[in-house]
Chain A
Amino acid sequence: MITAVLKPLAALLLAAALVSIVLLALDASPLGVFAALWQGACGTPIAFSDTLVKATPLIFCGLAIAIAFQAALWNIGADGQLLVGALAAGALGPLLTDWPHPLASAALLLAGALGGALWGGLAGWLRAHRAVNEVIATIMLNFVAVQLLSWAVHGPLMEPSRAFPKSAAIAPAAQLHLYLAPSRTNLGMVLGVALALASYLFLFHTANGFELRAFGRNPRASAFFGLPIARLTTRTMALSGALAGLGGAVQVSAITHRLYEAFSPGWGYEAIAVALLARLNPLAVLPTALFFGALDNGAQAMQRAQGVSPVLVQVIQGLVIMILLAFDSPAGLRAMISGPPIEPATPVALSAEARDA
């Protein structure tokens, strides 16, 4: 357990060190930047609650990616799946004015999950049946989703006054309550935690989760033992997309109440770092999502205080992923220098002749 935490911690420290070098090169103060980040992330109670708000979509996307990556399905499309989920929720939301409260929110969230499932499942289907590399497919779908959203808020979903490119507000009944005003703590966070637990149980304690993990680690053996590869691929990608889409719906329902362009600041990509730092364990996604949420939240303060662009957070994300990969490298840093051994070919068994006695 201790060693499991040690690697991510070491990766973070190393990333911090490297980022400091970049900052010094850009004539900014690393200590000042880190202090501003800390202050912005949890300096005040309101700041902390905002960190939770920013972490929430990362939880959903992080879970989506953790599950997909466990099946060795490289879902880089969580962003697009989130957008389509948000789109579905934002389209349905205004229509739910006559629905009672819990039902309306539930319907909204369900719509989000279905939208995301569709977007993810499409990429999964293409991989399963048309051998299309899911990395390219999901990235292409990301770009298409962005345009789809843009078209919707400029067109059919545009608010009645047609003044700004945003959608009509969702019905109040469909909104998730906010607690502890003026913070924006909401039920969506609780949902995220619940789903993390459910994902963990699914992956490690159910037969379907086992099949998914076996497929991810050894697709050949899985095929040999009759695991339904095509179905696993499509379903896992749909499940992954559903989680991301749900994240989008939660955003609409609890925070934004409507759709607008540039809805996602890249949560789907950021969640890759979240999932990897969590070593693809759904329970560990909670603290890592919180960490990156804190970074995102603090980044605004960092910009004001130190004049460094918030996209520095992406530099940190990229570095963290690369460092984690290096730590887990099969070749290892030592092998890099001396060269590892190769297994010899399997020898043939002795024939009858040789056993003559």
Chain B
Amino acid sequence: MLAANGITRRFARTVALDHVNFCARPGEIHALVGENGAGKSTLINIFAGRLRPDSGHATLDGVPLLEGSSDAALRAGIAAVYQSPMLFERMSWEENLALGGFDLGDRLDLRAVADRARQLADRLGFALPPAGATVEGRSVAERVRLEILRALSFDPHVLILDEPTGVLAPEELAAFLDTLRRLRTEGRIVVLVTHKLAEALAVADRVTVLRHGRTVGERTAAATDKAELAQMMVGDLPPSSRRPLYHRAAGKTVLALDHVVVDRDHRRVVDNLSFTLAEGEIGGIAGVDGNGQAELVDLLAGVRRPASGLVRLADPAAGATAVVPQNRDLDGLVLEMPLWENLMLASVLRRRFTGRAGWIRRAPALDFCAELLEKFRIRAPGADFPAAALSGGNRQRLAVARALATSPRLLVAHDICRGLDLRATADVHQMLREYSAGGGAVLLISSDLDELLALCGRLAVICRGRLTEISPADRDPVRIGLLMSGAAL
């Protein structure tokens, strides 16, 4: 039995887990569900030994787990497949698996590793890459399969999976769920972290719901339904304006992507992609991470050139296109620098506050920053404080504010509301609507269907670098979800 007793865990300002209790029994599939930032990943990181709880403890069969040691967790029989990739790109897949539990015996024997892997893969219905292939060239789905294989290679009592099914094709999904059921009959515990309630209910025996770091409740799958779980996850939802915006594009074309191709590491990551966007339109590209979105954003930011095809912007001047990157901390902000200097990363703003001989006009820049903080309701100690002093959500607001403040003709945002709570999300959505109503064009690239369906007039799905447009009449979330996961039309 895997249990958490009163676990609390803080990160700087945020309480990620607040006296959380959890219990999963042997021979059961237990789903852990919750919204963004509910604390699911934190909890499983504690189980897997990568994090220490501040108080409370995790136990396996009544024995407390050694905290903060992933090695101890593995030896205790807990294996996890995480959301962020944990494979070694430049090594072969056999070497990757050898670092799991397939490497037995005195000497490293990659062929034996491959054989054992093949046996397990056959049972699961997984295909394996060609012998000796490095992980670098593999698709996202193949990588997830390899990670699952590696986790199972440890022959664990407890298998934890963090959002694993997003990238699996439907036939793989069925086989995968069967695997989980088989593990259950073997007496193991499977903890499935997911936001897909349908899948959770299809395969889990019991479901625990987390919200804002607290355990909201635990239900038997048979005794509950999606509606109840969603209500538990989200609490009382403010009325989200989910009217789809069938905005007829009357304005000029602002962006035209014409059979664009991007190759990376010998793989075609953007495959003959064509898309147009007009003034006043909010367009959306839905997809699971890793299907070419990052490269597409790079293209639009001007950081990458297409191998072929054209990226045509109505206004190619620097600053006419503003980009809000997916990873604000890595690509968007300089955390050590004060907020007002972060604003100046945008060339338009930098030019505005640079006088003769390159001299920066500090006072006006500081004032402008203060105004921006006020207007976009960003909670910060002051314009002169480093970006690191802000919470993640407020940093994201700053990145969006900066993009909008440059008055671009085209705003491209990748996962614009990731990590934001409901209020911040609503605020940002409102900012986008106002901006597009004023004639700006917005391109949202996201995996959040709800957001896209609520905001976007034009919608397309990207999968393996190819774009499929969704007609306004046929916006069925289930079908779009299938397209995102790679199922054929």
Contact = CB atoms under 8 A, between A and B. Distances in A.
**In their complex, do chains A and B touch, with some C-beta pair under 8 Å?**
yes
Interface of A: 205-208, 210, 213-214, 217-218, 220-226, 339, 341-357
Contacts of B92: none
Contacts of A355: 230, 234, 237, 240, 450
B331 A220 contact: yes
A347 B325 CA distance: 16
Contact of A351 (B83, B359, B448): B448
B195 A348 contact: yes
Nearest to A205: B360
Given A206-B358, A346-B419, A354 B195 contact: yes
A349 B323 contact: no
Contact of A348 (B83, B323, B332): B83
A208 B325 contact: no
Contacts of A223: 303
Contacts of B90: none
12 contacts: A218-B335, A220-B330, A221-B334, A224-B325, A345-B84, A345-B162, A347-B38, A351-B450, A352-B481, A353-B477, A353-B478, A354-B197
Interface of B: 11, 16, 33, 35-38, 40-42, 45, 50-52, 68, 82-84, 162-163, 166, 195-198, 226-227, 229-231, 233-234, 237, 240, 301-303, 318, 323, 325, 327, 330-337, 341, 344-347, 350, 354, 357-360, 362, 415, 417-419, 446-451, 453, 477-478, 480-481
Contact of A221 (B333, B446, B448, B453): B333
B67 to A, nearest CB: 10
B161 to A, nearest CB: 13
A343 B350 CA distance: 32
A287 B31 CA distance: 63
Contacts of B480: 352
A208 B360 CA distance: 9
Given A218-B333, A341-B52, A352-B477, A207 B360 contact: yes
Contacts of B231: 357
A346 B418 CA distance: 8
B330 A221 contact: yes
A345 B83 contact: yes
Ordered nearest first, which 6 A-B pairs have the shortest CB separation?
A349-B448, A352-B477, A352-B449, A345-B84, A344-B41, A206-B358
Given A207-B354, A355-B450, A344 B347 contact: no
Nearest to B226: A356
Contacts, number: 157
Contact of B83 (A214, A225, A347): A347
A154 to B, nearest CB: 44
A348 B42 contact: no
A351 B35 contact: no
Given A348-B163, A349-B415, A350-B35, A210 B449 contact: no
Nearest to A218: B334
A350 B333 contact: no
A214 B362 contact: no
Contacts of B82: 345
A352 to B, nearest CB: 4
Contacts of B42: 344
Nearest to B234: A355
B481 A353 contact: yes
A213 B337 contact: yes
B41 A345 contact: yes
Given A221-B330, A222-B345, A353-B198, A344 B45 contact: yes
Contacts of A354: 33, 35, 195-197, 226, 229-230, 233-234
B303 A224 contact: yes
A160 to B, nearest CB: 46
Contacts of A350: 35-36, 195, 233-234, 448, 450
Contacts of B350: 207, 210
Contacts of A345: 41, 82-84, 162
Nearest to A349: B448
Contacts of B354: 206-207
A355 B232 CA distance: 11
B347 A339 contact: no
**Quick one: which of A205, A221, A351 has the most chain B CB within 10 A?**
A351
Nearest to B45: A344
A356 B449 contact: no
A347 B41 contact: yes
Contact of B334 (A205, A214, A226, A351): A214
A217 B358 contact: no
B402 to A, nearest CB: 10
A356 B481 CA distance: 14
A208 B226 contact: no
B84 A205 contact: no
A350 B447 CA distance: 9
A340 to B, nearest CB: 10
Nearest to B360: A205
Contacts of B331: 220-221, 224
Contacts of B45: 342, 344
Nearest to A341: B51
A347 B237 contact: no
A347 B350 CA distance: 33
A357 B448 CA distance: 17
Contacts of B332: 221, 224
Nearest to B297: A224
A222 B303 CA distance: 10
A204 B84 CA distance: 37
B235 to A, nearest CB: 11
Contacts of A342: 45, 50-51
B449 A351 contact: yes
Contact of B196 (A217, A218, A344, A351): A351
A347 B450 contact: no
A90 B337 CA distance: 42
Nearest to A223: B303
A217 B388 CA distance: 13
Contacts of B418: 346, 348-349
Nearest to B239: A357
B417 A349 contact: yes
A142 to B, nearest CB: 31
Contacts of A213: 337
A348 B447 contact: yes
